[in-house]
Amino acid sequence: MAKNYPTIGEYNQLIQKKGGSAFRSLNGINLIPSRTSPIKVYLFGSGAFAAVFKGSLNDKTYAIRCFLSAEDETINRYKAICGYLKNIYSSWKTECEFIDNEISLNGISFPILKMEWMNGLLINQFVSNHLSENRVLAELQEKLVSVSEDLERNKIGHGDIQCGNIIISGTFDDFQVKLIDYDGMYVPDLAYKKSIEKGRSEFQHPKRTLNNFSPEMDRFSFWVMITALEALKHDKTLWREVMQGGFNTLDNFLFTIQDFLNPNQSKLFNKLYNLNSTALNYYLDKLKYFCNSEYYIITKPVVYGQNTSPTSFIPTEHQKYLPNISTSQTIDNNVSSNKYKIVTNNSSASVLTSTFQRLGSTPLELDKQTYEGKLILVSNGRETKRITLNSNQNLIEIKFD
């Protein structure tokens, strides 16, 4: 049930009048105005759900988010997220605390979110400042992959990885990647819930739905960013704004949803392939394959040249989002991890490439390295099945009517 929360103006008037004494546990916090003339204004920003104020306490600066609207479900999510993050010690994390009954108006108490105030540059601004320094771009790729790995290791999904939610703090030769805005975050206590948002389309797989809520939900976003950074090492003009002939909308990392919906016809994909870089082609091939596949196929981001696991781990609690497949497809100890084994029921069938080149008859084994991501046709003469091979598979069992 929704509670009637104060307006932005009511919060601002209360803070103008009482300052730090407007808060209960934060009593005495020094509120910092965003503007001092012609009158003092304390509001630093607002969205659909909260107004943001800034204050310092014990030599640390915080963002104080005062709710404008929130369902009970939303409040419970914030409690779960902040409670879980309290015991996570990672460089990407900003301090986050949900405080209930913290600020009162007209005799009614309301909660707040207290978050560490982050100083730094948004990631796209950081890239603009260091566009000519490939070493910095390469280091940023590595740090983004490290953040991705750390999120999954701690069973966390951010849910909205994009320019506005990544801040680079520090100096160009000693910087850290910080994530902000935890509204749509996944933590284990929220397993079996749905996501509250699908994130900015410029960073999301086109088939992502609200059901895709797990520690793996940021993989595609990180692949987009490290692919774009690789491209920028080879062609700086890509970062020009769209009106200047580039691919920068100021909110994206070169790509847009149209590139993901139809990578084969994408002007950007084609331009990047024409740069003829082995490393860039590695990222492009991955991204293109993911765009043309189901959401669950997306593997962990990895920097070109690093070893990576051939499989994409999907926790048991999220297997319900996989399409229905027979249990024999998921585990077969007799099938080599480097091979696809294709079997059919009733009788043998022909296996063909997408261009109708015959590969053999079932049962048939194919090399994963050669055929990963490829479309094959399996035909028994009456029916033809179209199968896209992916690294999660070992045994592929085809059933004909």
Q: What pLDDT does 6 receive?
A: 93
Whether the pLDDT of residue 316 is over 90: the answer is no
Whether the pLDDT of residue 318 is over 80: the answer is no
Q: Please tell me whether residues 300 and 172 are part of one structural domain.
A: yes
Q: What pLDDT does 381 receive?
A: 67
> Is 1 a domain residue?
no
Q: Please tell me whether residues 262 and 388 are part of one structural domain.
A: no
Distance, in Å, from the CA atom of 55 to the CA atom of 32, rounded to the nearest integer, reads 5
Q: What pLDDT does 328 receive?
A: 37
Whether the pLDDT of residue 173 is over 60: the answer is yes
Q: Please tell me whether residues 98 and 129 are part of one structural domain.
A: no
Q: Please tell me whether residues 106 and 212 are part of one structural domain.
A: no
Whether the pLDDT of residue 121 is over 50: the answer is yes
Residue that terminates a domain, selected from 320, 348, 372: 320
Q: Please tell me whether residues 261 and 305 are part of one structural domain.
A: yes
**Which distant-in-sequence residues (6+ apart) come within 8 Å of 358 by Cβ?**
350, 351, 352
Q: Which pLDDT tens digit goes with each residue over 50-86?
A: 899 999 998 899 999 999 988 888 899 999 999 999 9
> Mean pLDDT, to the nearest integer, of 378-397?
76
> Is 202 a domain residue?
yes
Average pLDDT taken over every residue of the chain: 87
**Residues spanned by the domain of 363:** 324-398
164 band by pLDDT with thresholds 50, 70 and 90: very high
Beta strands 339-344 and 395-398 are parallel
Q: What CATH number did the domain enclosing 259 receive?
A: 1.10.510.10
Of 292-301, 302-311, 373-382, the range with the lowest mean pLDDT is 302-311
Q: Please tell me whether residues 363 and 350 are part of one structural domain.
A: yes
> Is 60 a domain residue?
yes
Q: How many domains does the chain have?
A: 3
Q: Please tell me whether residues 236 and 340 are part of one structural domain.
A: no
Whether the pLDDT of residue 244 is over 70: the answer is yes
> Is 2 a domain residue?
no
> Is 3 a domain residue?
no
Top pLDDT among 57 and 326 is at: 57
Distance, in Å, from the CA atom of 301 to the CA atom of 297, rounded to the nearest integer, reads 12
Residue that terminates a domain, selected from 297, 320, 343: 320
Q: Please tell me whether residues 12 and 131 are part of one structural domain.
A: no
Distance, in Å, from the CA atom of 117 to the CA atom of 56, rounded to the nearest integer, reads 9
Q: What pLDDT does 391 receive?
A: 62
Q: Please tell me whether residues 144 and 269 are part of one structural domain.
A: yes
> Mean pLDDT, to the nearest integer, of 370-394?
76
Q: Please tell me whether residues 135 and 197 are part of one structural domain.
A: yes
Q: Please tell me whether residues 330 and 375 are part of one structural domain.
A: yes
pTM to 2 decimals?
0.74
Between helices 219-234 and 134-153, what is the axis angle to 10°? 170
Q: What pLDDT does 396 receive?
A: 83
DSSP classification of residue 9: H
Q: What percent of the chain has pLDDT over 90?
A: 61
Distance, in Å, from the CA atom of 227 to the CA atom of 272, rounded to the nearest integer, reads 10
